[in-house]
Amino acid sequence: MKLAILTISDSVPVGKREDLSGPKIKEILGPFFGNVEYRVCTDDVDAIADNVSQMLATADLVVTNGGTGLMERDNTGEALKTIAGNRLLPLERAISAAMILACGPMSAIATPVVIKKGAVYIIALPGRTDEVAAALEGVIKPFVLNHVLFGADGHFSCHRAKI
């Protein structure tokens, strides 16, 4: 099983800011996957869409962080619109609720996106590390353990995940 993490930021690739939320994703979800890929790209719609599309080819789960807010350069949602798939609005709402409960009402500004394309889930989170941790621990980790890592027969498959 492969987890792909994409940090979306204009400041991380040029060394103006250290990415803390990408490593947090790896820390919390990485132990359940045999392979973890980590990339960084700018907030450009084409860069985001290209990276996510490439990751979809080999990953079982793609998690992005950054670019989900209200700033002009927050383009993750726009980029993911170009990737056909089924939006999972109830899961998006649950992620928002977990972030709001853990981090406060301003977390409502972040707009998580969850898409299922074929058998692969794409989960787009904000860049704030506390919001990412709240989303992962409160909603995404249980979701991954109960849905992504199950075999086709509905039973957890130990050979598919490193536990």
Q: pLDDT tens track of the chain, all 163 residues?
A: 999 999 999 888 888 889 999 999 999 999 999 999 999 999 999 999 999 999 999 999 999 999 887 777 788 888 998 988 899 999 999 999 999 999 999 999 999 999 999 989 999 999 999 999 999 999 999 999 887 776 444 554 443 444 3
Contact 7, 21 (CB under 8 A): yes
pTM comes to 0.89
Q: What is the CATH number of domain 2-160?
A: 3.40.980.10
**Which long-range contacts does 49-57 make (Cβ < 8 Å, 24+ apart)?**
49/79, 49/80, 49/82, 49/83, 51/6, 52/6, 52/79, 52/80, 52/83, 52/122, 53/83, 55/4, 55/6, 56/83, 56/117, 56/118, 56/120, 56/122
Domain layout of the chain by residue ranges: 2-160
pLDDT, position 98: 97
Facing residues of 156 across strands? 150
Q: Around Cβ 151, how many Cβ atoms within 10 Å?
A: 11
pLDDT at 78: 86
Predicted pLDDT of residue 150: 64
* pLDDT at site 75: 84
